[in-house]
Structure 1
Amino acid sequence: MKLMILGATGAVGSQVLAQAQRDDRFETIFVPTRRPLGSPGKAHNPIIPFDLPLPETDWWAVDAVICCLGTTLKQAGSKQAFYRVDHDLVLACAEQARGAGASVFVLNSALGANPQSRSFYLRTKGEVESAVARMGFERVVLARPSLIDAEREETRPAEKLGLMAGRLLAPIIPKRYRPVSADTIAATLLREVTGRPGVITLESEQMRHD
């Protein structure tokens, strides 16, 4: 199987790449990034600016895509810039892969994603989910993790406080809202590359490490 990983420099994407390298199902792994990966291993690492429109190249021709692309409002600097990454860029990548023959698209989304949400962040995530589900992939998996438990290079004070509270109160918090580790999310995304056709939604409590 040929696999593409998008967003491989992030907390979840980097775990997906590490685990995919050890997965015998994948004979070829493409990991396009803006900057060269320090240790791509057996993966092919094309360097592209991720500006729209995206380049049309033969490495879009994969069997499955795991998409972990995403930013934050703070990093993006504006709602418009955030939307361009988390919506426009994700859909552009999905369109390229689908046009090149990909049959599976696994999207790392967010708990509460809903195109009707009052939250700009969750509304954006919901709009992307809906659009990808309509693209004609044989199998679409929409994974909605709660707060991601991972070490990050950038400082996120609010997220750090949320993680501390989540870890402390985990025994009494409903499973759906408990923090979930990046490696657990990655294992779930990789597991879901194969399965029955259709659009599958995975809530946070359904994620587990095999």
Structure 2
Amino acid sequence: MNKTALVLGATGLVGKALVKQLLVDPRYDAITCVVRRPLPAKLFNDPLHKLNPIVIDFEKLQEYHGYFNVRHVYCCLGTTLKTAGSKEAFRKVDFEYVHIAAQLCRNSQCEGFVWISCVGADAASSNFYLRVKGELENAILRMTQLKHAAAVRPSLLLGKRHESRPMEQVAQYMAPIVGMFMVGPFAKYRPVSAVEVAHKMISLQHF
């Protein structure tokens, strides 16, 4: 049985937490990460030599279908409108790349595809970010022959980022206090750590 996982978005907040957990998960023999640029040597501790980083051109993602011959695919790709620079560039990363990854996963008959959406994702939303996330959920979950597709829908992500996000930093500082009041139907809006999200993604795969 294939015991390899493929990770897209390994250098992001959740992606890093996910890869660290996968590298010590005995159910996997190898972790392949497709990335835009070479990984820093000290980014991951890999005592069992499971990590296999591959630099690719995401504009030509379909050409790398061979790397999708794995058991499970984890997609942590995502950006922000500010970083992307435009709605079109944002949609390319958060919709197109993830959708193509799901298609390649389906074509390779992987056992599972898990990706990161967000709480409140809704294709009918007037909010551009939530609308794109909702449209992606609809597109992937309607994809025939894609085995065990599942999305995680976190609220505010807690963790240390490389890039500066002042408003998010303030929100993270207030998160422990605000979270105490988010109970019942509001519990899904509680801030959540990247480590927890990564753990949830792994739990959604079928072993």
Q: Give the TM-score taking structure 1 as reference length.
A: 0.88
TM-superposed deviation, 1:170: 2.0
Q: Where does residue 140 of structure 2 map in the other structure?
A: 132
Q: Residue 65 of structure 2 contacts residue 104 of structure 2 at CA under 8 Å; is this kept in 1? A: no
More moved, 16-25 vs 128-137: 128-137
Pick aligned residue for 2:154 from 145, 152, 167: 145
Q: Does 1:89 align with 2:97?
A: yes
Mapping 1:1-210, distance limit 5 Å: 1-39=3-41, 41=46, 42-52=50-60, 54-135=62-143, 136-174=145-183, 175-194=187-206
Q: Distance in 2 between matches of 1:82 and 1:31?
A: 22
Q: Greater CA deviation, 139-148 or 54-63?
A: 54-63
Which position in structure 2 is the counterpart of 1:208?
Answer: none
Preserved CA contact (<8 Å) 1:63 1:104: yes
What are the ranges of 5 or more consecutive residues in structure 2 without an aligned counterpart? none
Rounded Cα–Cα distance in structure 2 between residues aligned with 1:130 and 1:57: 23
Aligned residue identity for 2:23? Q
> Where does structure 1 differ by over 4 angstroms across 4 or more consecutive aligned residues?
none
Displacement of 1:103 in angstroms is: 2.6
For the 8 Å contact 1:3–1:26, the answer to whether it is kept is: yes
Provide the C-alpha distance between the structure 1 equivalents of 2:85 and 2:65, rounded to a whole number of angstroms.
Answer: 30
* Aligned equivalent of 1:200: none
Taking every aligned residue pair, what percent have the same amino acid on both sides? 37
For 2:200 and 2:61, locate their aligned partners in 1 and report how far apart those are by CA, in whole Å. 30
TM-superposed deviation, 1:78: 0.4
What secondary structure, in the 3-state scheme, does the structure 1 residue paired with 2:55 have?
Answer: coil
Give me the whole-angstrom Cα distance separating, in 2, the residues matched to 1:37 and 1:56. 18
**Kept after mapping to 1: 8 A contact 2:109/2:147:** no
Scaled by the length of structure 2, what TM-score is found? 0.89
1:57 CA displacement = 4.2
Q: Which runs of 5+ in 1 are unaligned?
A: 196-210
CA RMSD across the alignment? 1.5
Would the aligned equivalents of 2:58 and 2:97 in 1 still touch at CA under 8 Å? Answer: yes
Query: Please, which moves more after superposition, 170-179 or 12-21?
Result: 170-179
Please say if residues 114 and 125 of structure 1, whose CA atoms lie closer than 8 Å, have aligned partners that are also in contact.
yes
